[in-house]
Amino acid sequence: MELHILQFIWFVLTALLLAVFLIMGGFDFGEGMLCAFSKNPKVREHLIKNILPYWDANQVWLITAGGALFAAFPVAYSEVLSQMYVPVMLLLCFLVIRVVAIEFYFSEEQRWWRNFCAIMLAISSITSVVLIGVALGAIFGGEVLLRKESFTENFLRLFTPLSMASALLCFFFFGVQGALFASIKSANYNELVVLFNKYAKRMLFGLLFAFVLFAGVLLWKNQGKVNPATLCGFLVACYIPLRIASRLMRKNKAMWAFVCTSAFALITVFALSFLTYPNIIPAVKGYTEGLSILEASSSAKTLEIMLWVALVGVPLAIAYNIYAHLVFSRKK
């Protein structure tokens, strides 16, 4: 298979893996975030019980997306990891704290212990989501390639209007996914369904606002790099599933709203990826020329071997996720 075809396939696969993580990790991290909005021990226990069977499988998608970037585009991987060393290390620390809080929540029955674990889960989930949003915004904005002399400047350069809008967008998206999934999993408890639907509606309102803000910053930052009509067309395509989800939640149809918000994540990731193609990290006008997949990719042989690995591994991961949801749904 020719190199340029393999590069395109891996560009699409990397985007797909990122989208799957946002969808699956969305409800996982989102339910952890919701622990901050409820002091009721029963509600918190219900949320953590929903997370327990799935958190490890969901975080595999983040590892897989990182692994795909490392194997297929090692130059881009090295740029991202080296230039965002501090945010990445902070993210790893909070992921560890989050997992410990989930796994040890039920190890003790004392109220203070469970409250402590719930608070740690909420803080680590919110901080992780914000860091993921900032990182994605910095990568898509191209700021990750802007090197500064001092450590402080290198860290602060990541916090741009686009990366902050991206962080806000991720916060509300993960919150919506978490509330909707919690509502779906609470079908046998009417009072919980009402509570989580209320959270979902509020988060969805915030998500609509955050997306409009993100779209505005994106249009302002575009500076003629992409045809404005094309960019607006993609933004409208991303916005439509959110409007449908909002209408569905007026009728308390959490399952279909979850499908629509998941479609929003998928469409948004692919729309933004298409806008940057053939660059894997976009150019910053007047500063950098970006990083194209041609410059960043591995050899044709490496890409071909990894493609065969992906064709076996990804379906197995999907099958495992489906199996886990079916099994734990039955037990519920």
- pLDDT tens track for 167-199: 999 999 999 999 999 999 887 778 889 999 999
**Residue 66 to residue 171: CA distance in whole angstroms:** 21
Q: What values do phi and psi take at 158, rounded to 5?
A: -75, -20
Per-residue pLDDT tens over the stretch 43-101: 888 899 888 888 877 888 888 888 888 888 888 888 888 778 888 889 999 999 999 99
Mean of per-residue pLDDT scores for the chain: 86
| DSSP secondary structure, 251-288, as one string | TT-HHHHHHHHHHHHHHHHHHHHHHHTTEEE--BTTTB
3-class secondary-structure state, position 198: helix
Residue-level pLDDT at 54: 81
> What pTM does this model have?
0.90
Residue-level pLDDT at 181: 92
Lowest mean pLDDT, pick from 31-40, 135-144, 318-327 = 318-327
